[in-house]
Structures are given as structure tokens and as C-alpha cells.
């Protein structure tokens, strides 16, 4: 009887080890089994949709710049499996002192299921937050990032990393023409050209150089009927119908962007 119990104990212990090993292997190599375990590629359309909804809710009287879908940080899907978070940012430009009204307008235009809320901490700028419903789990945050400038980010939950790459977008059309005119009014030709597109919006970005205040120089290159919403020594932003753009100097380098609504 003692031998039988001993062999039974050994068998149970061996079975536990098999189950534990199978669980570790599945956690590291198995396919996703819940919505939160989507890949970065699978989650990108949801992020793009939320950015499009927020920028559309901002209305036509703002300047817009859409950024890339960028890896933000690493995270843990399970104790044995690493994941990543991705984010797409957009920058919105509005007349200084109009930032809170813009955040309220975006919140009012987002779906109610996102639970959009704008609150104002006592010692910092107002913040808009929102969360999409399952299975997307996209988090939205927007806040004032300088006079007349709103930084909006839509980021994923903890998703599986994959070989995701930004789709190549042609850097041409009306947005490219507007960008080239702004760059020509400054001190150098545009370099580091990059185009990003989501449904309805395409942004073209480049870098150049410029000395002195940007506003007067860029104003000469704007399309007919353009409305300048921000005019500061290091930042000028404008909109004109389906086009908008900005030129901003930081750390001695000027970033020029132009966005087309299609």
C-alpha cells in the first residue's frame, strides 16, 4: 500500500508539471483568446477611427496635424507574456483662450458610449478623457499643450506585438502644394518628408529652417482666404476650406505640416 501511494503521488506530481509546462507554452506561443489580446495591426483601425471622430468633432475652424501610429511602451499581457501599447497623436490648433471650448466641442461630438469627460485640475490645463467600448479598449486623452495648441492621443490597450508598418502614403496633392509654399517662404527646402493618412485626412510633414518670427513670413505663402488662428514668433497655424497647416519652431528646427480633408 505505501508503494502504491508513493507511485500515485509521483503520478499526480508529474501531471501537474505537464499542465504547468503546457500553460507556460500556451501563454508564450498560443493564439489570442480574448479581445484584449489583439495585435497592434488589428487594433490600428480602431485607433484611427477614434482619431477621425475626435478631429471631425473639433469642427472646420481649426488647424490639424495627424501623426503616425507609434509604439508607445511595453506592457504585460500575462505574467509570462510581454505586449506593447501603440498611440496615434493629432495636434489641433485654435485661437489662444479657445482651448477649453475646443475640448468641450470634441467631447460633445464623440459617441456617448465612450463616456467623454472634460475636467480641469486646479493647477494644470483642462483634460479630455474617453474610452471606447469593448472590444477595442482605445483610450483617448487630449489637453492644452501650449497657447492655441491641443495634443490629442488615442492609444491601444496592451496588445501583441507584430510586424506592423505604416502604410506608404503619397506626399502629393493640395497638402503638398501648401507645404511647399510654406517651406519656400522660410530659409530652406523641406527635408524629412513624411505623409500619414487615416480615413478623410492626410497630413504631410517636413522640416526646414527659419530665423526670426514665423508668422509674417508664412502668411505670405498661405492660400487665398486662409484664416490664421495662431500667430506667434515660433508658431503659426491656419485653415482654409479643406486645407490647414502649421509651422512650429522647436530646438532650432522648424516643422512644417499641411493637412487635407478628403
**DSSP notation for 171-206:** --HHHHHHHHHHHHTTTS--EEEEEEEETTEEEEEE
Helix (H, G, I), strand (E, B) or coil at 27: helix
DSSP 110: S
pLDDT at 25: 45
> Where does residue 6 rank: exposed (0-12), middle (13-18), buried (19+ CB within 10 A)?
exposed
pLDDT above 70 coverage of the chain, percent: 85
Q: Residue 173: is its pLDDT beyond 80?
A: yes
pLDDT at 1: 53
pLDDT at 136: 85
Place of cell 500500500: 1
Q: Residue 28: is its pLDDT beyond 80?
A: no
- In angstroms, the CA 246 to CA 257 distance is 5
pLDDT at 18: 44
pLDDT at 187: 86
CB 113 within 8 A of CB 97: no
pLDDT at 24: 46
Helix (H, G, I), strand (E, B) or coil at 240: strand
Amino acid at each position: 500500500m505505501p508503494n502504491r501511494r508513493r507511485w500515485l503521488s509521483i503520478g499526480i506530481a508529474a501531471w501537474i508539471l505537464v499542465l504547468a509546462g503546457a500553460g507556460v507554452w500556451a501563454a508564450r506561443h498560443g493564439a489570442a483568446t480574448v479581445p484584449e489580446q489583439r495585435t497592434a495591426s488589428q487594433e490600428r483601425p480602431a485607433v484611427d477611427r477614434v482619431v477621425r471622430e475626435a478631429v471631425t468633432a473639433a469642427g472646420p475652424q481649426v488647424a490639424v496635424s495627424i501623426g503616425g501610429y507609434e509604439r508607445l511602451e511595453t506592457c504585460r499581457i500575462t505574467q509570462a507574456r510581454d505586449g506593447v501599447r501603440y498611440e496615434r497623436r493629432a495636434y489641433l490648433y485654435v485661437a489662444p483662450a479657445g482651448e477649453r471650448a475646443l475640448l468641450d466641442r470634441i467631447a460633445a461630438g464623440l459617441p456617448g458610449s465612450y463616456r467623454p469627460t472634460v475636467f480641469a485640475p486646479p493647477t494644470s490645463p483642462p483634460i479630455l478623457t474617453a474610452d471606447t467600448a469593448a472590444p477595442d479598449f482605445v483610450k483617448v486623452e487630449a489637453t492644452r499643450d501650449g497657447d492655441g495648441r491641443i495634443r490629442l492621443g488615442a492609444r491601444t490597450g496592451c496588445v501583441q506585438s507584430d510586424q506592423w508598418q505604416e502604410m506608404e502614403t503619397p506626399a502629393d496633392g493640395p497638402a503638398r502644394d501648401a507645404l511647399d509654399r510654406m517651406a519656400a517662404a522660410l530659409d530652406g527646402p523641406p527635408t524629412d518628408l513624411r505623409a500619414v493618412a487615416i480615413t478623410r485626412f492626410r497630413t504631410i510633414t517636413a522640416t526646414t529652417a527659419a530665423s526670426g518670427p514665423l508668422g509674417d513670413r508664412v502668411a505670405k505663402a498661405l492660400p487665398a482666404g486662409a484664416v490664421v488662428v495662431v500667430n506667434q514668433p515660433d508658431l503659426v497655424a491656419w485653415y482654409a476650406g479643406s486645407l490647414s497647416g502649421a509651422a512650429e519652431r522647436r530646438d532650432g528646427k522648424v516643422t512644417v505640416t499641411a493637412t487635407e480633408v478628403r
